[in-house]
Amino acid sequence: MNRILVTGGAGFIGSNLVRQLQEDEPQAVILVIDDLRVGDWSNLCSEDASGWSFRGQIIPRALNDLDLFGVIEDFDPEVVFHLASITDTTVADQNKMLVDNVEPFEVLLDAAAELGIKLVWASSAATYGTHANGAVQQRRPFRLDDAGRPANIYGFSKWVMENMARQTLADSPESHVVGLRYFNVFGPGEQSKGRMASMIYQLAQQMLDGKRPRIFNPGEHARDHVHVRDVVGATLAAAGDKVRMGTYNVGTGKATNFNEVVAALNEALGTSLEPDYFENPFKFYQDYTCADLSQTRSGLRWSPKVETRAGILEYARQLASKPRNAAAQG
């Protein structure tokens, strides 16, 4: 890959992806489009000894405010990794969610079909909703065709994007368009998301402050918590030549409940803080998520490498090793 466009490249997953791309493809020119509404420049340059420093270019504008097709034609990338999106799942402005998330995607699909550019894009486990075709109640992994029952406008926006991607592949079967339903991602670089950062990050921050971790009673809500390193790996795999086009789950294939998360955090931080349980006030809450990875393994040719508990231990120790005021910023 010589020319790579990453939308949302200053965000959590995007900046981890850019960092890996820069390592894997040192000769490549990387262009980030990110208006920094959530993302932060500091995700692209670190002060620490790792010496990570972005060497690419950035267009700090909203996708909708650009002649996006023109930018792509001019830059002429081999691959577009499309991660920019409203990621605040509590945003209730339906029009804004669809205008921001769906409209630029149409342009990207046109570019994939007309210019032959590979398009890898972020869908979400939010397309499964709170029921997931009964998978939540049965506590079984979510199969691809369980989706399409989103419980909020964010999930609906991603579902509509999946419909559009399916149509593009039907109309232009030569196109390279791969969507990835990320599950619950955690890891370095998510501090810029604030209250939208993962529960693992939020709970670690509470515990590093010496507070008891606050979780919903009785702590058995379970999520497929996937480390960002694995998410980056899956995203890169989706640009491979042998991949079957379509949409895939990206998770660990295992649900870990919040009592288990707290136990791992206590172990990593050397604390013994008991959960501070409270009643779940949300009607529409995904209290169970788990990715079925059978299609991911065969079509995307990718499998997770980071076991959730080990990933939590590693991440919590990283957060704890930072000076406290810096850890609060990430």
Ligand X SMILES: NC(=O)c1ccc[n+]([C@@H]2O[C@H](COP(=O)([O-])OP(=O)(O)OC[C@H]3O[C@@H](n4cnc5c(N)ncnc54)[C@H](O)[C@@H]3O)[C@@H](O)[C@H]2O)c1
Interface with ligand X in residues 35-94 (CB under 6 A):
35-39, 62-64, 83-87
Handedness of CA 299, 78, 17, 151 (dihedral sign): negative
The two structure tokens encoding residue 40: 């932060």
Q: How far apart are CA 57 and CA 37, in angstroms?
A: 18
Cα distances (angstroms) measured from residue 310 to each of 34, 38, 261, 264, 267: 32, 28, 11, 8, 11
Q: Catalytic residue, from 154, 182, 201, 288: name it.
A: 154
Short-list 289, 160, 169, 159, CA closest to 223: 289
Of residues 18, 34, 129, 151, which one binds ligand X by CB under 6 A? 34
Q: Which residues contact 259 (CB under 8 A, 6 or more apart)?
A: 215, 218, 219, 220, 275
Beta strands in the chain (DSSP E): 3-7, 29-33, 57-59, 79-82, 118-124, 177-182, 184-186, 214-216, 222-223, 225-227, 246-250, 256-257, 276-278
Q: CB-wise, 82 or 118, nearer to ligand X?
A: 82
33 touches ligand X (CB under 6 A): yes
The verdict on whether 322 is a catalytic residue reads no
245 and 169 Cβ atoms separated by less than 8 Å = yes
> Least distance in Å: CB of 87 to ligand X?
4
164 touches ligand X (CB under 6 A): no
224 touches ligand X (CB under 6 A): no
The verdict on whether 154 is a catalytic residue reads yes
> Least distance in Å: CB of 210 to ligand X?
27
Of residues 12, 81, 105, 142, which one binds ligand X by CB under 6 A? 12
Q: Catalytic residue, from 128, 158, 193, 315: name it.
A: 193
- Binding-site size for ligand X (CB under 6 A) equals 30
**How many CA within 13 A on the CB side of residue 195?**
4
Q: CB-wise, 15 or 170, nearer to ligand X?
A: 15
Draw the binding track, 172-201, toward ligand X (x: CB under 6 A; -: no contact): ----------x-xx------xx--------
> Least distance in Å: CB of 107 to ligand X?
12
Positions in the binding site for ligand X (CB under 6 A): 8, 10-14, 33-39, 62-64, 83-87, 100, 122, 124-125, 182, 184-185, 192-193
| Residues annotated catalytic, as ranges | 154, 193
